[in-house]
Structure 1
Amino acid sequence: MVEVGIVVLRGVQYVAGTLLLGLPAFMLYSARAVEPLTLGWPRPVLIWAAAILAVAAPTALLAQTVLMAGSLEEAVKPASFGFMLTGMGLGQALAVRTLAAVLALGVAILSRPGRLSWAMLSLFGLIVAASFAWTGHGAATEGMGRWPHLISDVVHSIAACVWIGALAAFAVLILRPRRDPSWSAGLARSLTGFAGVGTAAVAALVVTGLVNSVFLIGPEKVGGLWNSPYGLLLTLKLGLFGLMVVLAALHRLRLAPLMDRDASQALPHLKRSLVVEFGLGLAVLAVVAVMGTLPPPAAL
């Protein structure tokens, strides 16, 4: 039961952390497109994301301590909890994540929406995204490959958060349309402007995914990838990722230009494909939450 709770908590943290980085980053690099629209929803979304993460991260820390100690009674003892915080990278990463979430919550509540607050929230989001690597398989690699694998995993987490967080922003924008021409023009500009960021995120995910696979699977075990639960989930993740890339290309090459020319014709197609792509992104996060609790083929 504790293991199931840990998977759920991992998934909740991934979603909250993705919003905490991807959404304010989107507001920064899309500022010229979205600022004229006077959007009011990013701030409450970020408040909720930070609040949920500020609760989920320490809860996950307690759950991991219970798993390590064998029972809740043993887990709450100072010796057990202290060892998790001071002697294990997992506990330290969760503690840093909790602190970043609390600070982000304070900024989201107390500061006015704008470039400074988006920049500060993006910084805390970067810390949270990096901490995901510290609580994953990347931090378990030993020897000469430890730092290359960990750095690759950090970049992988950041790129995923930036991409899926932007999809969350697009999904909200497309589901809350306005009738004035500035809205459709702003959406089209933001889609076009995201092309460079999205391309960089996809490239980073591909490169770091290959690097991570070398450490987690190993060239000699690629042929037997489907013989393990981890390998099956990795295959599912890659399939979902491929579908997301196809939809992203459709948005960039076809629907964004059409939105600029004829919003009424493009809007129904864009709404459907953006929501589907965001749903695929959430599915990827759910798959990763399970994969993080399974031994990779290289460890078997």
Structure 2
Amino acid sequence: MADLLNIILRFALYVDLLLLFGLALFGLYSFNALLRFRPLLRGMAVTGALLSVAGLVLMTRAMSGETQLAALWPHLQMMLLETDVGLAWALRMTALAIVVIRPSLWPASLAGAIALASLAWSGHGAMDEGWLRFWHFLSDILHLLAAGAWLGALLALVLMASGRIGDTRFRLLADAVKRFEWVGALIVLTVSVTGVMNYLFIVGPRLDGVLFGTYGQLLTIKVLAFAVMLVLAALNRFHLGPSLQQSLRDGQHLIAANALRRSVVMELALALLIVALVAWLGTLSPDPG
């Protein structure tokens, strides 16, 4: 039960911080005028702080074996003051406090990036040492930031394509999709390269034996889901995006907007599945034995 609760908390925290950074970043480069970013970002920052507190308590309970708060408190202090995980947690809470106070796009994107990057200290990279630890952390952080940019853009596009689509809203949607094209290409490249690097850091240049354990099976599902996401992203880039531009000229934009929304919703659902798998994989060892 504790393992399941840990996975659920990790999943919720990952999704929250990915969206916090990704939405703020999307607002910066898309010049979006439709979405009300401030309440969204402030709400995500508060949620992230609460999830972080719950996650720290659960981790400390698991490591110490204590369940009563009075007995747990010294272990919490030690975790916060004497470990890298505690330092990363404190940095994340500071970043989230900045977003709560200043939920405008520039501060939120920078603070959101710091909060999201802090999750790397709860991953497999924390087990490495020396230069290997540095490069593993760097790869993890870039992977997280690229994934956040992707996830946040997907949610923003779903929100923009929902509700009543008038001429102004549709024009802003088409413009946002076009602006996302070059960002999306960089995101896919970064996620792909860092994903391969992280596999090599964790497992090494081998497949034998790994795929037969729970870790390998979950990793296979993750790779397949990512492949489907790439197909949907290509569809959006080479078919649905141009159809939006054509619909701007024809004035028949409802069908194009609905098609884009359905495709992006599917892509977002796959992204959430991948995040759930990542939350689970972070609790497992790649050794099938």
Under a length normalisation based on structure 1, what TM-score does the superposition of the two structures give?
0.90
Separation in 2 of the partners of 1:175 and 1:209? 32
Separation in 1 of the partners of 2:16 and 2:131? 33
Q: Helix, strand or coil for the counterpart of 2:39?
A: helix
The aligned counterpart of 1:272 is 262
The aligned counterpart of 1:291 is 281
Separation in 2 of the partners of 1:240 and 1:94? 30
Q: Helix, strand or coil for the counterpart of 1:219?
A: coil
Alignment of 1:1-300 (within 5 A): 1-31=1-31, 34-35=32-33, 39-73=34-68, 76-108=71-103, 117-179=104-166, 181-220=167-206, 222-262=207-247, 263-297=253-287
Cα shift readout 1:72-100 (whole Å, capped 9, x = no counterpart):
22785443112211222222222222222
C-alpha contact 2:160 2:169 (8 A) present in aligned 1: no
C-alpha contact 2:215 2:286 (8 A) present in aligned 1: yes
Cα shift readout 1:90-131 (whole Å, capped 9, x = no counterpart):
2222222222222211223xxxxxxxx201000111001111
Separation in 1 of the partners of 2:164 and 2:143? 32
Q: Which runs of 4+ in 1 moved over 6 A?
A: none
What code does the residue aligned with 1:101 have?
L
Unaligned runs of 5+ in 1: 109-116
Separation in 2 of the partners of 1:89 and 1:75? 23
What code does the residue aligned with 2:195 have?
G
What's the CA shift for 1:2?
A: 2.3
What code does the residue aligned with 1:183 have?
R
Alpha-carbon spacing, 1:17–1:282, altered in 2? closer, same or farther (3 Å): same
Cα shift readout 1:183-234 (whole Å, capped 9, x = no counterpart):
21211111111011111111011111111111111113x1223211111111
Identical amino acids, percent of aligned pairs: 36
Q: CA RMSD in A?
A: 1.7
Alpha-carbon spacing, 1:254–1:231, altered in 2? closer, same or farther (3 Å): same
C-alpha contact 1:100 1:127 (8 A) present in aligned 2: yes
Separation in 1 of the partners of 2:99 and 2:70? 28
